[in-house]
Amino acid sequence: MIQSKSLGSRLSRLLIMFALILITFMSLAPIVNTIMVSVSSSTAVNAGRVYFFPVELNFSSYGQILNDTKFWRAFLISVERVVLGGAINMILTILMAYPLSRSVTQFRSRNTYMWIIVFTMLFSGGIVPWYMVISNLGLINSIWALVLPGAVPVFNVILLMNFFKGIPKELEEAAFIDGASPLKILLKIFIPISMPSLATITLFVIVGHWNNFFDGIILINDSSKIPLQTYLQRLSLTRDQMQNLSVEQLQQFNKISNTTLNSAKILVSMIPILLIYPFLQRYLIHGIVLGAVKE
Amino acid sequence: MTQMETTVNPEREIRYRRKKKRKTFDEMTYHFMLLPGMVMLFIFSIVPMFGVVMAFQKFIPAKGIFGSKWAGLSNFTYMFQLPDAKQIFVNTLVIAVGKIVLGLIVPIVFALLLNEVRLKAFKSTIQTVVYLPHFMSWVVLGTMLTMIFSFDGMINNFLEFLGLERIMFLASNDWFRPLLIVTDTWKEFGYGTIVYLAALTAINPALYESAAMDGASRWKQTLNITLPGMFPTIILLGTLSLGNVLNAGFDQVFNLYNPLVYETGDIIDTFVYRMGLINMQYSFATAIGLMKSVISFVLIVISYRLASRYAGYRIF
């Protein structure tokens, strides 16, 4: 590439670098601030002296978390949910994407299924009927209430289906002539070939389950069975109690809440995502572009 | 004689039957593969759809859908009379459109800036960092943002340092909507950039070389090659976002709002949640939800039609 070395272009290059670094810093600022709050003393935090460096460094909030059984119980429920829900999501996604990726000549009912599936993605009965179905099935307060209603992530099914469609026909035909059954073709050819896509979808599914707080709020009444995000939601923002508070009371409320401890809890809650993210994110670009633009 | 031979050719007949049997077997396998997922969809997506009849009833939980009295359109007429409902509709539109517009512009600009960087390591580090917020939940971000934007938080300290007044961002009806729009864009712009960067790699490098030969500056090249090259993707994503005009983002609003900002921050989804599951006005909440679902459905269908016509986009 030909690049001019004039002063103007160098200056603009420098300016662009500066802007990018500034934007990147802004993306990280809230996280860095939260980390610093979590390792500073409560008095320094309440005095508003903590920005991007720790003030009166102490790790007592992390020590407190270690002994917090409620926190760890919620953490474990979230882990259970991710493992159970993630496995169900992935199995169902693969099992649905494969038949749907067949052409109509191979699978006559394909389009009928497709219409039903897309319709469920676009139209919903609303939250009240949804809640009533789950409660009538007796799932309230059980881990299954967090796992089963979202068992089929329709968007992911379509994503994977599109990827399956892009796999060269010759691969499959060779296996077909050798007498391989559809299940065998799926297991021996399609799944191994789609690992990057599957990694992307797995990341989506794990993050989705880990971050969901809302079903925990409405489907779980027993506070010993709530997942971690719901626990954090109740902890830091007890909004229902704030219904009738005035501005002054709200300020007071913010002051007495234990910011240091809550920051530490929030950061611990992010650890699993931060551990998984680097391993799966390199497939991300491929996977997202696939879902967004199909030619 | 020859015709007879072809029709009764036993070998061919057997092969044909075997192939047909094989096809039926394969199709049965496909049905079985789809069965578990379809059962789940039926229970948790399709059955609740029938629940929308509640919107036309005076639903009483003890009597159930079959025992409750019909109410015709009274739930809907009540909705149109309620001043709150109008306010909520406006809030939803303003917040959602704001997010769509800013959420479209920022990733484009960011992708253009990032495209100027030639250092690969620098580029990928920045990318990894900026799309990290996408993976954090609104519970976590809500807590962080409440801290930062609170009356004695970091932003207000900075404002005071500049000699400005402190602002109650989260309790001010003037500031709440801009805050929602900006923080949502902040969370998602890195993620949105990915698609534009991919569009940029598809542009033929020869175009830049010949432009540089002709003496075009980087700025001129951006204006005349890069931007037009991104245009189809911009149009596509812009069109598709039409379907989100009534989705102002439940998770975000729910984690940031409080009764002081209901006037500007309450959106359809949060209102339906409070009416339906907190105040237990099942029929009324369902009516509002149904109205939103129908409008959204129509918008999505329109936007996909437009996208497939003008950008050649199909999801399946």
Distance (Å, rounded) from C-alpha B155 to C-alpha B161? 10
The residues facing B57 across adjacent strands are B70
pLDDT at B315: 67
> Cα torsion at A13, A17, A23, A24 (round to 10°)?
150
Scan residues 199-218 of A and list those with Cβ closer than 8 Å to B: 207, 210-214, 218
Scan residues 102-161 of A and list those with Cβ closer than 8 Å to B: 102, 106-110, 113-114, 116-118, 120, 122-134, 137, 148-152, 154, 157-158, 161
CB under 8 Å to A68, separation ≥6 — which residues? Answer: A265
Length reported for chain B? 316
The residues facing B69 across adjacent strands are B58
User: Taking a C-beta distance cutoff of 8 angstroms, is the pair A159, A290 a contact?
Assistant: yes
pLDDT at B89: 93
Distance (Å, rounded) from C-alpha A117 to C-alpha A41? 53
Residue B58: phi, psi to the nearest 5? -105, 80
Mutate which of B23, B34, B299 to disrupt the A interface (most A C-beta within 10 Å)?
B34
User: Taking a C-beta distance cutoff of 8 angstroms, is the pair B75, B284 a contact?
Assistant: yes
Which residue of A lies nearest to B277 if distances are taken between CA atoms?
A128
Distance (Å, rounded) from C-alpha B210 to C-alpha B220? 13
Which tokens hold the place of A267? 């950061």
The residues facing B58 across adjacent strands are B69
A2 touching B (Cβ < 8 Å): yes
A17 touching B (Cβ < 8 Å): yes
pLDDT at B68: 83
- The predicted complex's ipTM stands at 0.88
User: Taking a C-beta distance cutoff of 8 angstroms, is the pair B300, B315 a contact?
Assistant: no
From the CA of B6, how many Å to the nearest CA of chain A? 24
CB under 8 Å to B83, separation ≥6 — which residues? Answer: none
pLDDT at A3: 53
The mean of the pLDDT values for chain A is: 86
Distance (Å, rounded) from C-alpha A141 to C-alpha B123? 46
From the CA of B290, how many Å to the nearest CA of chain A? 7
Which residue of A lies nearest to B199 if distances are taken between CA atoms?
A289
**Residue A126 backbone class (left: φ over 0; alpha: ψ -120 to 50; beta: rest):** left
Q: For B200-233, write each residue's pLDDT tens digit.
A: 888 888 888 888 888 888 888 888 899 988 888 8
Q: Pick from B46, B257, B315: which is nearest to A158 by CB?
A: B315
**What are all long-range contacts of B116-124, with beta carbons under 8 Å and residues at least 24 apart?**
B116/A13, B116/A16, B116/B218, B117/A16, B117/A17, B117/A20
- The answer to whether B44 contacts A130, with C-beta atoms less than 8 Å apart, is yes
A244 touching B (Cβ < 8 Å): yes
Closest CA to A95 of B40, B25, B22: B40
The residues facing B70 across adjacent strands are B57
CB under 8 Å to A158, separation ≥6 — which residues? Answer: A97, A117, A118, A121, A291, B315, B316
- pLDDT by 10s per residue, chain A, length 295: 445 567 777 888 889 999 999 999 999 999 999 999 889 888 888 777 888 888 888 888 898 889 899 999 999 999 999 999 999 999 999 999 999 999 998 899 999 999 999 999 888 888 999 999 999 999 999 999 999 999 999 999 998 998 898 888 888 888 888 888 889 999 988 999 888 889 989 999 999 999 999 999 999 999 899 999 999 998 865 544 455 556 666 655 555 457 888 889 999 999 998 888 877 777 776 666 655 444 3
Distance (Å, rounded) from C-alpha B113 to C-alpha B218? 11
From the CA of B9, how many Å to the nearest CA of chain A? 22
A87 touching B (Cβ < 8 Å): no
Report CA-CA distances (Å) from A215 to A27, A272, B265.
Answer: 28, 20, 22
- The answer to whether A266 contacts B273, with C-beta atoms less than 8 Å apart, is no
- The answer to whether B237 contacts A131, with C-beta atoms less than 8 Å apart, is no
- The answer to whether A126 contacts B285, with C-beta atoms less than 8 Å apart, is yes
Mutate which of B108, B137, B179, B267 to disrupt the A interface (most A C-beta within 10 Å)?
B137
Q: Residue type at A94?
A: I
Q: For B268-304, write each residue's pLDDT tens digit.
A: 999 999 999 888 899 999 999 999 999 999 999 998 8
pLDDT at A47: 77
Mutate which of B116, B128, B147 to disrupt the A interface (most A C-beta within 10 Å)?
B147
Which residue of B lies nearest to A209 if distances are taken between CA atoms?
B137
User: Taking a C-beta distance cutoff of 8 angstroms, is the pair B117, A14 a contact?
Assistant: no
The SS3 call for residue B241 is helix
CA dihedral (B63, B68, B74, B75) positive or negative: positive
Which tokens hold the place of A79? 């882990």
Q: Pick from A26, A210, A285: which is nearest to B198 by CB?
A: A285
Report CA-CA distances (Å) from B47 to B42, B134, B139, B218.
Answer: 6, 32, 30, 57
Place of tokens 């709002």: B257
Place of tokens 């969370």: B187
The pTM score is 0.88
A180 touching B (Cβ < 8 Å): no
- The answer to whether A9 contacts B154, with C-beta atoms less than 8 Å apart, is no
CB under 8 Å to A131, separation ≥6 — which residues? Answer: A218, A219, B276, B277
User: Taking a C-beta distance cutoff of 8 angstroms, is the pair B130, B283 a contact?
Assistant: no
pLDDT at B6: 53
Mutate which of B44, B104, B313 to disrupt the A interface (most A C-beta within 10 Å)?
B44
pLDDT at A69: 92
Q: Residue type at B156?
A: N
Which tokens hold the place of B56? 């036309």
Residue B125 CB neighbour total at 10 angstroms: 12
| Segments in chain B below pLDDT 50 | 1
- The answer to whether B31 contacts A99, with C-beta atoms less than 8 Å apart, is yes
A54 touching B (Cβ < 8 Å): no
- The answer to whether A12 contacts B29, with C-beta atoms less than 8 Å apart, is no
Residue A38 CB neighbour total at 10 angstroms: 25
Distance (Å, rounded) from C-alpha B99 to C-alpha B104? 8
- The answer to whether B48 contacts A123, with C-beta atoms less than 8 Å apart, is no
Closest CA to B99 of B246, B268, B270: B246
Full 3-state SS string of A134-176: HHHCCCCCCCHHHHCCCCCCHHHHHHHHHHHHCCCHHHHHHHH
Distance (Å, rounded) from C-alpha B138 to C-alpha A213? 9
What are the chain A neighbours of B191 within 8 Å (beta carbons)? 288
pLDDT at B242: 87
What are the chain B neighbours of A12 within 8 Å (beta carbons)? 218-219
What are the chain B neighbours of A237 within 8 Å (beta carbons)? 142-143, 146, 255
